[in-house]
């Protein structure tokens, strides 16, 4: 026989400890209580929708499922009501009286046992989200009437150990469904204010599958906060570009037009929908040190977090969301990114974005160029970090080169233009595009029409040192090791190597090597110089010149290796110096030539005073 009096019960758990954990440990943001209660209300509506398939009378004359939020700032209360399935007395005791026993979970088990995984799409899984209400409320009251029932029940608790269940007058209860009323704590009264509620609903629950309206104060007209329709769930053919643009601005918090929109639904082992945007301009936080992504995670259209790693960090400029039904909303939603399912989703979304960018590059080079100019330096971080997708990223990469002028070149373009006997992809790295384009190390390559990649982004030295090759062609720095250009014909068709070094110049190089032994590893004749007298290159082993500078600046290199001084044996200054017998003069010029090479490499003379003294002596000798 059903009781008609108030009945006090103890929670079936150590509720004081557990609620304390819920309030202070499980959730890091108090705003989530509203998300949880709206999720419960949406579940109740979804349960009714499913039950009404077999029992249409449950819907009755109220077929429009809805969630209503009612605020009363003067009374300090907030209520969340739905016209879903509602609860019986026993269901209320079981669902609300036992921590972590979820009616949703039990219902899902019954549905799946009956027909597998088809059926109702339910949000909650573990039955603890309801108790987040005690983060903001000193008293919580739940009044519910099960669909088709002539009885209504009231559940009430302060969350400190006991709850009460009593009959509720039908005139005080919903015609169908549940109303949760919170008596807000003194420091939570802002949750009865319109702007706070609008902000939370639009940010966290604006796309649940049930319309949400707000009654700002008792007696006021209800206004719509969410229409129950999610843009990303609609067929792409029904969505206009301006719809995508408006949604992009709302989800990204930016005011430009998206440069690319990627919208797809994945089916198979894992099912999810992704809607991603590449911004039209650089976000202000593009180079933040934490390199966090800005993709939002939804589960069944309920916002979970914007801190899940849904994309690798080199795609952190992408804005948008992923909505999945495969991930459960468990007791620790803030840690949901630990789910292995999320890793599979991350892999799928990343691959699709890169694939679509590749298609854009082929179909609309101008549009892709705009994306690359904004985000190329960030995408290239993936060449260093993402070995699995390196070839795909190399296919997307665009470069300025010694022959491209202001245009961008792909590696496919580069390989197609290889010169006869050219077996490597040549590059030069530095921090100043104009300076590296004028580097003396490029002279021999220009004389042969060999294209050289000009790499001026800080990340370039890192990725290129870890990318062994592309299309079977190794990457080779023009500032490291021997150039080995003798087999590549000059532009005038001459295939023979440079002229033979004279005995006098060979002797000079030997003297210079002894003179500069403390500062250089070697002094040798160069086949990469055509106009300049000297240049510096790194040895065959270890990093190239730019990478070495970066490692030294970062404190990751104990001491820089001594460079190699390459000398142009056909340069007039070198030939005349080889014929001089003035040893002090030859010593001064040898040091000045080394300092000249340093300056051309973007460095300073190692000893400014000694440099000045040598230059003064040389000027004085010239004026004598």
DSSP assignment of 97-152, as one string? Answer: HSTT--HHHHHHHHHHHHHTT-S----B-SS-GGGGGGGTEEEEEEEEE-TT-S-E
Most confident of 34-43, 69-78, 279-288, 600-609: 69-78
178 in a known ligand binding site: yes
Tokens of 17: 């400890």
Residue 128 marked as a ligand binder: yes
Q: What is the pLDDT of residue 3?
A: 60
| 86 known member of a binding site | no
Please indicate if the annotation marks 568 as binding a ligand.
no
How far is it, in rounded angstroms, from Cα 587 to Cα 106? 90
Query: Which CATH fold would you assign to the domain 231-373?
Result: Ribosomal Protein S5; domain 2 (3.30.230)
Q: According to the annotation, is 228 in a ligand binding site? A: no
* Residue 482 pLDDT > 90: no
Ligand-binding annotation for 82, yes or no, is: yes
pTM of the model: 0.76
Q: Which of 298, 314, 129, 38 is nearest to 306 (CA)?
A: 298
Alpha-carbon dihedral 224, 227, 228, 231, rounded to 10 degrees: -140
| Residues near 488 by beta carbon (within 8 Å), at least 6 away in sequence | 419, 420, 421, 422, 448, 450
Which phi-psi region, left, alpha or beta, contains residue 84 (left: φ > 0; alpha: ψ -120 to 50)? beta
CATH level 3 topology of 380-623: Rossmann fold (3.40.50)
6-15, 290-299, 318-327, 398-407: which has the minimum mean pLDDT?
Answer: 6-15
Q: What is the pLDDT of residue 28?
A: 56
Does 87 appear as a known binding residue?
yes
Three-state DSSP at 425 gives strand
Instruction: Provide the pLDDT for residue 197.
Output: 96
DSSP-based helix, strand, coil % in the chain, nearest 5: 40, 20, 40
What is the C-alpha to C-alpha distance for residues 519 and 252, in angstroms, rounded to an integer? 53
Annotated binding residue 330 = no
Compute the distance between CA of residue 528 and CA of residue 34 in angstroms, rounded to an integer: 69
In whole angstroms, how far apart are CA 574 and each of 211, 461, 518, 533, 577?
Answer: 83, 32, 21, 7, 5
Instruction: Say how far apart CA 184 and CA 446 lie, in whole Å.
Output: 75
| More confident: 227 or 153 | 153
**Whether pLDDT at 275 is above 70:** yes
Instruction: Report in angstroms the alpha-carbon separations of 165 from 44, 90, 94, 102, 141.
Output: 20, 10, 11, 18, 10
Q: Which of helix, strand or coil describes residue 511?
A: helix
User: Is 465 within any annotated ligand binding site?
Assistant: no
Mean pLDDT of all residues in the chain?
86
Residue 119 has pLDDT above 50, yes or no: no
Q: Are 141 and 116 in contact (CB under 8 A)?
A: no
Q: Can you give the pLDDT at residue 524? A: 94
pLDDT at 447 over 80: yes
243 is in an annotated binding site: no
161 assigned binding-site residue: no
Is 102 marked as a binding-site residue?
yes
The answer to the question of whether 135 is labelled as a binding residue is no
Q: What is the mean pLDDT of residues 258-277?
A: 94
Overall fold of domain 7-226: Heat Shock Protein 90 (3.30.565)
Is 332 annotated as belonging to a binding site?
no
**Domains of the chain: which residue ranges?**
7-226, 231-373, 380-623
Distance of CA 15 to the CA centre of its chain: 40
Give the pLDDT band (50/70/90) at residue 284: confident
Locate tokens 């579940």: which residue? 43
CA dist 203 and 212 (Å) reads 13
């Amino acid at each position: 026989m059903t009781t008609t009096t108030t009945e006090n019960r103890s929670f079936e758990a150590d509720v004081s400890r557990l609620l304390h954990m819920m309030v202070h440990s499980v959730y890091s943001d108090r705003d989530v209580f509203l998300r949880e209660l709206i999720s419960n209300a949406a579940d109740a509506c979804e349960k009714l929708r499913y039950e009404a398939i077999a029992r249409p009378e449950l819907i009755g004359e109220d077929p429009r499922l809805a969630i209503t939020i009612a605020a009363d700032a003067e009374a300090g209360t907030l209520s969340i009501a739905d016209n879903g399935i509602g609860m019986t007395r026993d269901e209320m005791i079981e669902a609300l009286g036992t921590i972590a026993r979820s009616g949703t979970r039990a219902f899902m088990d019954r549905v799946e046992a009956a027909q597998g995984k088809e059926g109702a799409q339910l949000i909650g899984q573990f039955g603890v989200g309801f108790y987040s209400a005690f983060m903001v409320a000193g008293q919580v009251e739940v009044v519910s009437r099960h669909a088709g029932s002539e009885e209504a029940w009231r559940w009430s608790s302060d969350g400190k150990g006991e709850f009460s269940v009593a009959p509720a007058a039908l005139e005080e209860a919903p015609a169908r469904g549940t109303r949760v009323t919170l008596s807000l704590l003194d420091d939570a009264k802002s949750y009865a204010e319109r702007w706070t509620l609008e902000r939370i609903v639009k940010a966290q629950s604006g796309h649940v599958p049930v319309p949400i309206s707000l009654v700002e104060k008792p007696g006021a007209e209800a206004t719509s906060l969410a229409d129950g329709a999610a843009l990303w769930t609609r067929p792409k053919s029904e969505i206009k570009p301006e719809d995508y643009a408006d949604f992009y601005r709302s989800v990204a918090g930016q005011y430009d037009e998206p440069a690319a929109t990627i919208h797809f639904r994945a089916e198979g082992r894992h099912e999810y929908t992704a809607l991603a945007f590449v911004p039209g301009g650089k976000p202000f936080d593009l180079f933040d040190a934490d390199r966090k992504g800005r993709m939002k995670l939804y589960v069944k259209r309920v916002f979970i977090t914007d801190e899940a790693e849904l994309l690798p960090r080199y795609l952190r400029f992408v804005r948008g969301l992923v909505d999945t039904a495969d991930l459960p909303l468990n007791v620790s939603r803030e840690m949901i990114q630990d789910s292995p399912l999320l890793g599979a989703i991350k892999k799928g979304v990343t691959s699709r974005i890169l694939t679509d960018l590749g298609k854009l590059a082929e179909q609309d080079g101008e549009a892709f160029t705009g994306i690359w100019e904004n985000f190329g330096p960030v995408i290239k971080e993936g060449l260093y970090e993402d070995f699995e997708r390196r070839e795909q990223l190399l296919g997307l990469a665009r470069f300025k080169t010694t022959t491209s002028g202001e245009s961008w070149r792909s590696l496919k373009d580069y390989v197609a233009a290889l010169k006869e006997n050219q077996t490597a992809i040549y590059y030069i790295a530095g921090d100043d595009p104009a300076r590296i384009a004028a580097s003396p190390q490029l002279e021999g390559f220009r004389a042969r029409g060999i294209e050289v990649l000009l790499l001026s982004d800080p990340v370039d030295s890192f990725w290129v040192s870890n990318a062994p090759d592309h299309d079977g062609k190794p990457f080779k720095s023009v500032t490291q090791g021997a150039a080995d250009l003798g087999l590549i014909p000059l532009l005038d068709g001459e295939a023979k190597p440079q002229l033979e070094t004279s005995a006098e110049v060979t002797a000079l190089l030997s003297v210079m090597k002894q003179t500069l032994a403390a500062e250089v590893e070697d002094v040798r004749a160069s086949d990469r110089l055509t106009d300049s007298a000297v240049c510096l290159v790194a040895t065959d082993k270890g990093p190239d010149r730019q990478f070495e500078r970066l490692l030294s600046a970062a404190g990751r290199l104990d001491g820089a290796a001594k460079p190699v001084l390459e000398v142009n044996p056909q340069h007039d200054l070198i030939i005349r110096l080889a014929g001089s017998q003035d040893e002090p003069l030859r010593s001064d010029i040898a040091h000045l030539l080394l300092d000249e090479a340093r300056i051309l490499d973007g460095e300073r003379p190692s000893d400014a005073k000694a440099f000045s003294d040598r230059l003064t002596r040389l000027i004085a000798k010239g004026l004598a």
